[in-house]
Amino acid sequence: MANNDLVGSLARGFDILKLVGSTENGLKSSEIMALLNLKAPTCYNLLRTMVACGVLEKQNNRFYPGEEIVAIARKHSTTKYNQQIETELLTLYQKFHGATTIYSLPGRDGVKQTHRISADRPGVVQHLDSESMHPYASAAGLIYLAFNKDEESYMHFCERFPFSEFGMNLWKSREALENYLEQVRVQKYAVALFDRDVLYRLSAAVLNKSGDLIGVVGLALPLKSLDKEKAVRDLRRTADRISKICCGRPSV
């Protein structure tokens, strides 16, 4: 079938998106121009438009898939992977009265919730639009800091959420934070230490065979009905099962 009736700029935009999405470390505009044989004005205009629409994001002069594309992919995903994640969250939720269970994914901007089951909608898996977790206060955020191995994404994270602005008032010193993160690496779970008057919040790392962080499973429990040992044990078992499900699946 002839393609001479296609919208050229739209087709080239999809070519750019597919190219950028196929790389782990993003691409410079010069690389995109060379690989797709685009003229400089055309490439710059396409990239500027795609960034403005949230289809791409630009960090340190490199282009990456934007949050809008990631959100659409998550929202419409009906894979066996997601179904199994939901089953594990529901199983964990049913073990604790009044609990909230969550699942989050790591990315360049920290950890964002994608699934939640809470007491306001018992037994219903809520699909979230990538709600950000506090980078230094939340248990999921601390898991991210403890297990993120990618130097480039970590530097991007530190530039966006500098410790002096977001963490110093909580931890008082970087040394105190690093000491706790070392503890988290050993036990593979973290506790939110700064808001424990009503709820006890903890998260466990979901790791692949190489020890890379590919997800975070979390649990929030009312303090009045808390069995800490059971909570930690069941949460870690859930994380281990999800690790097996996700083994080899890249983070987004």
Summarize pLDDT for 122-159 with one digit per residue, the tens: 889 998 877 888 999 999 999 999 998 878 878 888 89
Is the pTM of the predicted complex or chain greater than 0.75? no
**CA–CA distances in Å: residue 89 to residues 84, 85, 234:** 9, 6, 11
- Give the model's pLDDT for residue 132: 85
Could you tell me which of 177, 180, 184 has the C-alpha nearest to residue 236?
184
Distance CA 157, CA 171 (A): 18
**CA–CA distances in Å: residue 113 to residues 80, 103, 104, 142, 246:** 19, 6, 4, 14, 17
Domain spans of the chain, in order of start:
8-65, 71-246
Task: Pick 71-246's CATH classification: 3.20.20.70, 3.40.50.300, 3.30.450.40, 3.20.20.140.
Answer: 3.30.450.40
Q: 166-194: per-residue pLDDT in tens? A: 999 999 999 999 999 999 999 999 999 98
- Give the model's pLDDT for residue 2: 46
Of the listed ranges 51-65, 79-93, 101-115, 204-218, the one predicted with least confidence: 79-93
Distance CA 233, CA 128 (A): 26
Distance CA 210, CA 220 (A): 28
Could you tell me which of 116, 108, 110 has the C-alpha nearest to residue 201?
116
% pLDDT > 90, the chain: 56
Distance CA 72, CA 65 (A): 12
Element at 53 (helix H, strand E): none
What secondary structure does DSSP assign to 104-145, as a single string? EEEETTEEEEEEEE-TTSTT--EEEEEEEPPTTTSHHHHHHH
pLDDT of 101 strictly over 70: yes
Task: Pick 8-65's CATH classification: 1.10.10.10, 3.40.50.1820, 3.40.120.10, 3.40.1410.10.
Answer: 1.10.10.10
Give the mean model confidence (pLDDT) for residues 86-109.
91
Q: What is the CA radius of gyration of the chain?
A: 20
The mean pLDDT of the chain is: 87
Are the CB atoms for 248 and 208 separated by under 8 Å? yes
- Give the model's pLDDT for residue 56: 92
Element at 232 (helix H, strand E): helix 228-246
